Amino acid sequence: MDFERYAAVWRSRSVRQAVLLGALGKAPWFGATMILMLQVVGRLGESYSAAGLLSAAFTVAVGAASPWRGRLLDRVGLRRTLLPSLLILPPAFIVAPWLPYWALVALMTAVGLVAVPWFALTRQLVIAAVPVDQRRTALALDSIATELAFMIGPALGIVAAVYGDTHWAIPGFACTSVAAAFGLWRANPPLASEDAPAVATGRVRWVSVEVVGLFLATLAITFILAGQDLSIVAAVRTMKADALLAVAMTAWAAGSLVGGIIYGTSKSATSWSSSPAITDTCDLDRPVMPRALTSLSIRRVLTPSR
């Protein structure tokens, strides 16, 4: 494995900024959504099906808003796109722990429409920060940081929910994520490289069989991962071992972390380049980890061999 590839990418200040702030934003976001799930099945006394419905409502809202948010990034820039999230998310999460179940579902659906598009945003930032021949390694680095965030965030969230008060843990974690988003808003890094081609207007030109296949595979994997996430929580709580839930979630993410490290050091090239439009549309930014590595692997499968 050639770790010099990671070192070369890490030398870019823009990459470091995007990866670190992205991880600082994703980790507490993962933690907040995990606490919300435990809030539903714990303090609210609802079923795991109810927790799944909450997750689905949030995910659908984010998926519906992602193309619009991605287009806003292209048209009005990072600051104006993030501003609604910075203003709306803190009070929404302060109120969320005190709501009954159906009001919470309605609120989280609305939150999904203005959630910070962490995954699409960090991918677009690292793509803009490196030349084409370093993009695969840069995207793998972002996925590794995301896996670390997924290992740390839910673990801390579980500890906060089991040993603390969810009424304060949920807004605390969520507002920490918003603070990281404010850091990106303040830095306002470029969203496209100087040599990036002009964005096509009018009829969509990037749609192809491969892209449609990527969308369908991403949709399928999203449902699978959401089910796995909820199933792990249900299984551990059924065994009355809530304190070990953090260990189970961390172990689940560790395998993907290792795969991401290996993928990023690979010397084989891919011919399918990353498109900000595709990245933004695929982004679901949901309560479960979208596995950035998964999208990288799908890209590899869909790339015709030379």
What global pTM score does this model have? Answer: 0.74
pLDDT tens for 193-248 read: 666 555 555 555 667 788 788 878 877 877 777 777 777 777 777 787 766 777 77
Residue-wise pLDDT tens digits, 156-182: 988 888 888 889 999 999 999 999 999
Closest by CA to 295, choosing from 285, 277, 283, 306, is 283
Distance, in Å, from the CA atom of 211 to the CA atom of 204, rounded to the nearest integer, reads 12
Write the single-letter amino acid at 259. Answer: G
> Quick check: 278 and 214 in contact, CB under 8 A?
yes
CB 161 within 8 A of CB 42: yes
Quick: pLDDT tens for 28-43: 998 998 899 889 988 8
- Max CA pair span of the chain: 57
CATH topology of domain 4-192+206-302: Growth Hormone; Chain: A; (1.20.1250)
190: pLDDT strictly greater than 80: yes
The domain spans of the chain are 4-192+206-302
